[in-house]
């Protein structure tokens, strides 16, 4: 078996006495599409925050394509090829949609003060390329017509898709999607499922996603990890997960009888 693109080994963090995540282990193979589920407050978003460097894990290791990233700063992790979207959309509201996506390209660019101010050929070319790439990405998501709008003026569903565009613009190896279907109607969800699948194929990106909508998760994820109270209670294929009594218990509670 080849080296996993994202190798998470027993990471943990506690806030005060609360063990938010314990011994979380996950190996995402290149091109994989895995899911992370669990009841509210199970620690799913905390896992994402640990992976992207918002929090530093108190134990365990994280490797992206073989490079250890735990303990490094968020922008360094992004440069290593880990990108994400946010549960509570975090677009740059006053910037235009295309600027939002171009910002994603920033991390892959080279920047020098002299070049920027004197408009060196390198700089001009890079700016043009960023704009082109951003427009290409937006067209893929049917958002090209909204490129000039301020991001805050877009609909909820469109904002979610701009966030994915922005994350893709960083040329990630691994994409973390935090509840991409939240707030979408069934039709939009269906489109989103197709889109997520196509992302993997078009961009060669491996995906880990958090989702509450079981329909979406069971449909597109190859393997699923279930968290409850910060602990991994189950791991397996969608069918295995659906049958797992522990998972059912976590979601529905123990039967009173």
Q: Dig out the tokens for 241 from the structure.
A: 């997960």
CB count in 10 Å sphere of residue 147: 18
Among 21, 37, 70, 99, binds other proteins (CB under 8 A): 99
The vertex-5 CA angle with 173 and 73, nearest 5°, equals: 65
Does 68 bind other proteins (CB under 8 A)? Our answer is no
Among 121, 185, 253, 257, binds other proteins (CB under 8 A): 121
Rounded CA gap, 207 and 134, in Å? 21
Beta carbon nearer to other proteins, 15 or 156: 15
Assigned token pair, 50? 């640990």
Q: Is 63 in the site for other proteins (CB under 8 A)?
A: no
Q: By C-alpha distance, which of 38, 28, 24 is closest to 211?
A: 38
Length of the chain as a residue count: 257
Q: How far is the CB of 142 from other proteins (least distance, A)?
A: 15
- Binding of residue 78 to other proteins (CB under 8 A): yes
Q: Select from 4-12, 33-41, 166-174, 218-226 the region that touches other proteins (CB under 8 A).
A: 166-174
Choosing from 23, 141, 182, 203, the residue that interacts with other proteins (CB under 8 A) is 203
Question: Judged by CB under 8 A, does residue 108 bind other proteins?
Answer: yes
- Does 156 bind other proteins (CB under 8 A)? Our answer is no
Give CB contacts under 8 A, 24+ apart, made by 108-116: 108/170, 108/171
| Category of 230 on φ-ψ map: left (φ > 0), alpha (ψ -120 to 50) or beta | left
* Sites of contact with other proteins (CB under 8 A): 15, 45, 49, 52-54, 73-75, 78-79, 83-84, 86, 88, 90-95, 99, 102-109, 111, 116-130, 132-133, 136-137, 140, 166-168, 170-171, 202-204
């Amino acid at each position: 078996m080849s080296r996993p693109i994202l190798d998470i080994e027993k990471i943990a963090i506690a806030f005060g006495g609360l063990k938010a995540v314990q011994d979380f282990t996950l190996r995402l193979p290149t091109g994989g599409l895995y899911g992370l589920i669990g009841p509210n407050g199970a620690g799913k978003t905390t896992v994402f925050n640990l992976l992207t460097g918002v929090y530093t894990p108190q134990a365990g290791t994280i490797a992206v394509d073989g490079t250890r990233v735990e303990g490094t700063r968020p922008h360094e992790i992004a440069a290593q090829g880990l990108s994400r979207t946010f549960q509570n959309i975090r677009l740059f509201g006053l910037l235009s949609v295309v600027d939002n996506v171009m910002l994603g390209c920033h991390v892959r660019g080279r920047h020098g003060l002299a070049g920027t101010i004197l408009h060196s050929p390198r700089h001009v070319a890079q700016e043009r390329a960023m704009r082109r790439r951003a427009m290409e990405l937006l067209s893929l998501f049917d958002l090209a017509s909204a490129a000039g709008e301020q991001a805050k003026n877009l609909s909820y569903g469109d904002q979610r898709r701009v966030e994915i565009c922005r994350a893709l613009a960083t040329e990630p190896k691994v994409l973390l999607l935090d509840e991409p279907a939240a707030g979408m109607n069934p039709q939009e969800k269906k489109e989103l499922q197709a889109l997520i699948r196509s992302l993997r194929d078009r961009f060669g990106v491996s995906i880990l996603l958090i989702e509450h909508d079981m329909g979406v998760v069971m449909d597109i994820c190859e393997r699923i990890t279930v968290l409850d109270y910060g602990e991994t209670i189950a791991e397996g294929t969608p069918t295995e997960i659906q049958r797992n009594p522990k998972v059912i218990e976590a979601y529905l509670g123990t039967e009173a009888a």
